[in-house]
Chains A and B, each alone.
Chain A
Amino acid sequence: MEKIYSENQSKCKLTKANSETIAFLMSYSKSLQIVECNNMQFESNLN
């Protein structure tokens, strides 16, 4: 397909992840526990 260079060159826009995403990541981080046992790692996610 042809490439159109004439317009829409710059689509860079400053965006930010919204607060819900950050809140989710924080609670995910808090709930995640890594337990190590005999050189093995176990993930546990406490909701």
Chain B
Amino acid sequence: MELQIDDSVLVKDYIKGNEKALEVLINRHNQRISSFIYSKVLDKDITQDIFQDTFIKVINTLKRGKYSEEGKFLPWVMRISHNLVIDHFRRNKRMPKFEGTDDFNIFSVIGDQKLNVEKQMIKDQIDSDLNVMIEELPEDQKEVLVMRIYKDMSFKEISENTGVSINTALGRMRYALINLRKIIDKNNIVLTN
């Protein structure tokens, strides 16, 4: 059976300058302290951080000679890590951080409305294709379509501006759309994003 050196002996050795003693102590209690922290914070990275901070405190206290040996090295280290866990939660309370869980992700509710680069390029392409096709339309139909769609005018305004009746303007708009569809069908153009 391997003889295990007592924690208190290792602490004394470390205070005297034996760095190896600290390594033994850390490795000996690594799992217990890490698991203790993990059971509280439930995050691996935060566990690593708190574990590290705990031992930085331990090292500082031991090197300053402020540690009083009462045969309770592990409970003392656990207490330090416990306090650091509390500090961690206090800090997070002040700056709450929202993280989506597996069941619910905030980004499935709020999306980025802007198009991505690919979709923006497709949209630009469609817009320019459409402009070319509109140029193919007869002048009177083109005029009504541009006023209605691009200038967002009402048919009443269109009729006033072009000097034709509302019904004529409506008819021209109808034919403009029919003709556009014909051009699209004829040339097998796909206009979807």
Is B145 in contact with chain A by the CB < 8 A criterion? Answer: no
Is A13 in contact with chain B by the CB < 8 A criterion? Answer: yes
Bound together, the chains give a CA A21 to CA B80 distance in angstroms of 17
A residues less than 8 Å from B38 (CB atoms): 12-13, 15
Q: Is the CB of A25 within 8 A of B30?
A: no
Contact of A25 among B39, B47, B56, B64 (CB under 8 A): B56
Is A16 in contact with chain B by the CB < 8 A criterion? Answer: yes
Q: Is the CB of A21 within 8 A of B51?
A: yes
CB closest residue in chain A, given B31: A16
Bound together, the chains give a CA A26 to CA B127 distance in angstroms of 64
Q: Is the CB of B59 within 8 A of A32?
A: yes
A interface footprint on B36-47 (CB within 8 Å = 1, 0 otherwise): 001100101001
Bound together, the chains give a CA A33 to CA B65 distance in angstroms of 12
B residues less than 8 Å from A26 (CB atoms): 19, 22-23, 26
Bound together, the chains give a CA A11 to CA B63 distance in angstroms of 35
Contact of A22 among B30, B42, B44, B63 (CB under 8 A): B30
- Near B by CB (< 8 A), chain A positions 8-47 give 11-18, 21-22, 24-26, 28-30, 32-34, 41, 43
CB closest residue in chain B, given A33: B63
Q: Is the CB of B59 within 8 A of A25?
A: yes
Q: Is the CB of B35 within 8 A of A14?
A: yes
B residues less than 8 Å from A24 (CB atoms): 52
**23 CB-based A-B contacts, threshold 8 Å:** A11-B42, A15-B35, A15-B38, A16-B34, A17-B33, A17-B48, A17-B52, A21-B48, A22-B30, A24-B52, A25-B26, A25-B52, A25-B55, A25-B56, A26-B23, A28-B59, A29-B22, A29-B59, A30-B19, A34-B63, A34-B64, A34-B65, A43-B60
Listed in ascending order, the chain A residues whose CB lies under 8 Å from chain B are: 11-18, 21-22, 24-26, 28-30, 32-34, 41, 43
A sample of 10 more A-B contacts (CB under 8 A), given A25-B56, A32-B59, A34-B63, is A12-B35, A15-B38, A17-B34, A17-B47, A21-B51, A21-B52, A25-B22, A29-B22, A32-B60, A43-B60
Closest 7 CB pairs of A and B: A17-B51, A15-B34, A15-B38, A34-B63, A25-B55, A29-B59, A12-B39
